[in-house]
Structure 1
Amino acid sequence: MPAMSQPSRDRRRRRTYRVLAAAGALVTVGALAAALPATASAGEGHGKPGGHKPSRYQDVQLLSFNDLHGNLEPPSGSSGRVTELQADGTTKTIDAGGVEYLATHLREARKGNPYSITAAGGDMVGASPLISGLFHDEPTIEALNKLDLDVTSVGNHEFDEGAKELARLQNGGCHPTAGCYTDKRFEGADFPYLAANVLDQKTGKPILKPYWVWKKKDVKVGFIGVTLEGTPGIVSADGVKGLTFKDEVETINKYAKVLQKQGVKSIVALIHEGGLPSSGSYNYDCDSPGAGAGVSGPIVDIAKNITPSVDALVTGHTHTAYVCTIPDPSGKPRMVTSAASFGRLYTDTTLTYDRRTGDIARTAVTSANHVVTRDVPKATDLTELISRWNTLAAPIGNRAIGYISADIPNTGTESPMGDLIADAQLAHGKSLDAGTDLALMNPGGVRAGLTYAAKGAEGDGVVTYAEGFTVQPFANTVNLQDFTGAQVVQALKEQVSGVNASAPKILQVSSGLTYTLDLTKTGADRVVADSVKLNGAAIDPSATYRVATNSFLAGGGDGFTTLGQGTNDLVGSDDLAALEQYLTANSSATSPIAPPAADRITIVQ
């Protein structure tokens, strides 16, 4: 496969498209039925050029991905691998990801497909590695433009820096405080961000376009884009200030009617909410033994209630891979897909457009996830982009901040990386107030582990600032607050109850705090109250404890309402600074930090 520069095909820039509204789509593996309708004919209608009259049916290629999170360079460690299920039932891992390779794969896939759309399911930016995050994700938007992305839904991470910053990424302009990073004005996204269910509280209207229509000749496909209704619970309060997030199903059904009134009957929903497949393999058949039987989670109920007029769902958020057919409200199968995360997979879906009805022949829809392997030539224009931004980031990113003796992974209910961060925040808390007792860290705020093998020229075991930034990219502050012992126990119970009952969020805990998590029980009872101890002594319900958390948890984020009720607040440095201080103080080239044992939570299964 030859290396390809920016393709000469239509650039799909917003100035050259007729934007009727906004929305992005995706579909993946799993066939509703492999055969075309019996009346379908060959010829131009199926991508084969010819001078004759177009056939009734036209295959439209939909390429999609989700949850890129600014991963322009190949992700390292487990974040840069996918698992493939083999015919004999065994699995193998494949190194995957990196936009230089993603561009090559997408460009090759588009060859011979004049009717091709590229869509995404949100979280293109946010929680990004240093090369993008340091520059407020301008590099990722530039990369997505080069990837010829046509449309995307917003995700929750598009709101990490608030609605005004999201609008800047869409429309362009220099950052209001950081200014311009180069001598060229940032142009913004060539593609529309869709936010149908995100309303301005003052106007009651969507903050960005709710839908968008792709057109080529006589073929029209509409896209509706939404993020999860629960976004305010997983984003900092400042990021969603002044915004209202509406129900996903109600919003999609509303705009499907709007599109139909405009004569657009082929509709794809881009939904930044997802499911949990029964297998971690990207090519697992989640339609076995029945339609959608192998996937669970929020997307199942959403899919079952979205109007049948929507033909396919492209989803995200859970960073998992699946291609399933989940029945719509009329009982007919409908494609629902997700392409994992970090640009490791892309989905190639065939939507068969019926020119007579203007709708998708859903019995002919096919889809599959494909690995973004690294055995293809790099796209030279993306290599140049990465090199340019790395040159600007290098003076900051290459600085050594610590040393480790082995990989410190971010895996498991209690992860070694989570424990290390909690220990760092406890140490930072003690530097502010010697009476600090413990630290709690939300698992979603730990974005990666640390790898022993050198990524660049720094040497094995060296932790660079760029690597630390990848682990802790949110710029949350470390906050100290007072809680009673009863509140500490209640916060631990909120890991597995309330909004977290069906999908537990297990806090990472600092050294000295121990307890038992009994997964054979249900709800809050899974946290064994009398097992909660600090330095070997039982937590006293009436005593006061000084607790370090990040500002996200201190605001009650992730459903931890009790952690939003602390008193005697003291705000420290940002969380990355706390991690850097801890690594610098506790490691050296001759005495590196070993991975924590991750044995503070005793799990009963």
Structure 2
Amino acid sequence: MALTGRDKTWPRKRWALGLAAAGTAAVLGLATGGTVTQAATAKPKPTHTQIQLLAINDFHGNLEPATGSSGNINGTPAGGAAYLATHLKQLRAAAEAKGQDSVTVAAGDLIGASPLLSAAFHDEPTIEALNGMGLEAASVGNHEFDEGWHELLRMQTGGCLPDGDGQNNQNSCPDAKHPFTGAKFKYLSANVFFENTQKTLFAPYTIKSFKDGRKVGFIGMTLENTPNIVTKSGIEGLTFKDEVETANALVPVLKKKGVESIVVLLHEGGFPADPRAYNSCPGISGPIVDINAGLDPEIDAIISGHTHQAYNCTLMDSAKQPRLVTSASSFGRLVTDVRLSIDNKTGDVDRLNTMANNQIVTQDVPQDRKTSELIAKYKTLVDPIANKVIGHLTTPSVVRTPDDSLESPLGNLIADAQLADPTVVTDGKTPVVAFMNPGGIRADLASTGGQVTFGQAFTVQPFNNFLVSMDMTGTQIKALLEQQFSGVNGPEPAKFKVLQVAGITYTWNPAAAAGSKVVAGSIMIAGQPLVDATTYRIVTNNFLSDGGDGFPAFTTATSKFFGGLDIDAFANYLTAHDPYTPVATDRISIGS
């Protein structure tokens, strides 16, 4: 039987390939017990030609440097589009000085879940900034589908939306003199097909031809699990296929076109045991390990993403040869600088002489002028929306950090806001329970001198999801709660996805078996015990309503009614409860 990328019996020897501390030479070593033993330094051969490959991933529209822990790498302030543009120029200049060609690529989630500065304009500013940085090819990520695949096509081809000049706090093409012309780089979507066809949403691959006839093929893919983590309406009419099978089928296609050097741009990743070791992969785990094991040995490198982790090493392919696997963290804080060493005779990559380095996008370099001007223009345009004060906090912030039960103060606030939203009341039916997915809470709610602006609220909830009220029986609610600890959300505690709630309390037992972790008789709604046969009106967002994040119980609900935007409910609640004081995390408890 052919080995697949999901075969858990595949032996997982792990190798590490990265630059030495001085950042000038690659090292190859066997990773055992979470450590890396360095071997001989690789040296470029005179019979080879080096090509520079610069890579980023998970930029998420962070035109300005992110704040807090998301704005640094191991304590070093990092990120910001104007700094990123400068670093890319400097890295290309260094390669050019050595006579090396260069290509810049990305591994998905360049847009979506973006700060207001980009999201207020449907991420058009981010596409414009990436155009200016010289990006040439990018795989689609799950967040590229946040506003639907039709909108993603517009990101590629350009054009303006008739969105009512600011409807839903968004404004396409705010500068009438400069319409949005789309991405100059190529989006790739090898495993995203129109239903019942062999046609992909975007081209499955692109071939970069260099001087002397050398070629590098790039296959671009998102994770197969994308339908479970995006809004259903955004991908209606599309199917997402296995990453390994998709890439392997394209290898002979590329080879027939004379391509011997093949790189996969994959929006899926892994988790190193030490997340600070950004230039190695100690004890790496996660989907990337199995995907790498199943990929055709003819594929020479994997540029990955999705997990927002930083790593740079090699994993053994199925031919027991080391293959480069990298990820550049998120938000433009790192750039992966790869030097592919290509044999001049065969046109193939010599992996033992290929070097890679994850370089921090430090803020000690000049900001790129054109990128800075672009950011300044959109900051002026967004200021009236972003700076509007919508409330105050009695504490410096409301945090999303959960307690032992995985309930958070900010989760409670958002769930309360959803439960209080009048737009989801229909036919006299008012929701009595609210559910919020923790992954949709993107940052702590910060304040400035106690004041909370719309921009700060939007940073917390940047998806512009609609709220949906619906009917669920007590039995369906029980099934929903168990899905927090089972299916794609289990069985390991690290995968548990505890929904933030309002109007309901319960106890769960971490030691109990999957499917029976919620303590019998502990579920209370409006202070009364849950009754299996009783129908309850609940509210959530449209992402969860479609069964997102591994909660199919929501799809069994009935009498669904769409209300307003989640960010509006959040902002209105803060205004109505001004000033706001965080409430106790006493809705979910641990017990036996």
> Do these two structures clear the TM 0.5 threshold for a shared fold by scoring above it?
yes
Residue of 362, 365, 371 corresponding to 1:382: 371
In 1, Cα distance between equivalents of 2:279 and 2:349? 26
| Separation (CA, whole Å) in 1 of partners of 2:507 and 2:76 | 36
1:321 aligns with 2:310: yes
Distance apart, 1:431 and its partner CA: 7.6
**Secondary structure of 1:540's aligned partner:** coil
Match of 1:508 among 499, 511, 526: 499
Q: Is the 8 A contact 1:32 1:335 kept in 2?
A: no
Between the aligned partners of 1:530 and 1:410, the Cα distance in structure 2 is: 28
1:193 deviation in Å? 0.6
Which residue among 134, 152, 161 is the counterpart of 1:148? 134
What CA deviation, in whole Å up to 9, does each residue of 1:469-501 have, x standing for no partner? Answer: 222222221111121222112101111212222
Q: For this pair of structures, how many residues does the alignment match?
A: 540
After TM superposition, list the pairs within 5 Å mapping 1:427-442 onto structure 2: 427-428=420-421, 432=425, 435-442=430-437
Q: Against the structure 1 CA distance between its residues 446 and 221, is the aligned structure 2 distance closer, same or farther, given a 3 Å change threshold?
A: same
Q: Is the 8 A contact 2:424 2:564 kept in 1?
A: no
Match of 1:416, as an amino acid? P
Q: Deviations over 1:173-229 (max 9, x none)?
A: 222545632212212111111111111226421121111112221232110000111
Q: 1:407 aligns with which of 397, 405, 430?
A: 397
Please report how far the alpha carbon of residue 603 of structure 1 lies from its aligned counterpart in structure 2 after TM superposition: 4.5
Closer/same/farther in 2, CA of residues 305 and 524 from structure 1, 3 Å limit:
same
Matching of residue 98 in structure 1 with residue 80 in structure 2 = yes
Please say if 1:361 is aligned against 2:350: yes
Structure 1 stretches lacking a partner, 5+ long: 1-26, 42-54, 85-92, 288-293, 455-459
Question: TM-score normalized by structure 1?
Answer: 0.84
What is aligned with 2:94?
112
RMSD after superposition:
2.4
Q: Which residue of 1 aligns with 2:206?
A: 212
Once the two structures are TM-superposed, the CA of residue 315 in structure 1 deviates from its matched residue by 0.8
Residue 547 of structure 1 pairs with residue 533 of structure 2: no
Question: CA 1:209–1:430 in structure 2 vs 1: closer, same or farther (change >3 Å)?
Answer: closer
1:181-580 equivalent positions in 2, closer than 5 A: 181-182=174-175, 183-201=177-195, 203-218=197-212, 219-283=214-278, 285-287=280-282, 294-404=283-393, 405-412=395-402, 413-428=406-421, 432=425, 435-452=430-447, 454=448, 460-502=449-491, 504-534=495-525, 536-580=527-571
The Cα shift of 1:541 comes to 2.3
Q: Residue 227 of structure 2 aligns to which amino acid in structure 1? A: P
Q: Deviation at 1:514?
A: 2.8
Shift of 1:384: 0.5
Counterpart of 1:61 in structure 2 is 52
One-letter amino acid of the structure 2 residue matched with residue 104 of structure 1: T
Change (3 A) 1:177 1:326: same
1:152 alignment partner AA: A
The answer to whether the 8 Å contact 2:28/2:41 transfers is no
Letter in 2 for 1:124: L
**TM-score normalised to the size of structure 2?**
0.86
For residue 224 of structure 2, give the secondary structure of its aligned residue in structure 1: coil
- On the 8 A contact 1:32/1:362 being kept in 2, the answer is no
Change (3 A) 1:37 1:106: closer
Tell me if structure 2 keeps the 8 A contact 1:489–1:529.
Answer: no
Question: Structure 1's 395 and 278: CA in aligned 2 closer, same or farther, altered over 3 A?
Answer: same
Picking from 70, 74, 88, the partner of 1:79 is: 70
Name the counterpart of 1:23: none
Distance 1:470 1:500 in 2: 25
Which AA in structure 2 matches 1:150?
E
Contact 1:403–1:461 (8 Å) recurs in 2: yes
Whole-Å separation in 1 of the counterparts to 2:355 and 2:519: 48
CA displacement at 1:323 relative to structure 2: 2.0
Shift, 1:324, TM fit: 3.1
Asked if residue 70 in structure 1 is aligned to residue 61 in structure 2, the reply is yes
Mapped to 1, the partners of 2:271 and 2:512 lie a distance apart of: 21
Counterpart-to-counterpart distance in 2, 1:604 and 1:59: 59
Return closer, same or farther for 1:298/1:528 CA change in 2, 3 Å cut-off.
farther
Cα 1:492/1:430, change in 2 over 3 Å: farther
The share of aligned pairs that are identical, in percent, is: 48
The CA deviation at 1:529 is: 4.0
Residues 103-112 or 511-520, more deviating: 511-520
Unpaired runs of 5+ residues, structure 2, are 1-16, 20-25, 30-38, 165-171
Partner of 1:89: none
* Aligned-partner residue type, residue 269 of structure 1: V
Q: Deviations over 1:482-534 (max 9, x none)?
A: 21222112101111212222563524323453333433344233333433333
Q: Which moved more, 1:220-229 or 1:274-283?
A: 274-283
Alpha-carbon shift at residue 535 of structure 1 (Å): 5.0
Q: Report the more deviating stretch, 380-389 or 539-548.
A: 539-548
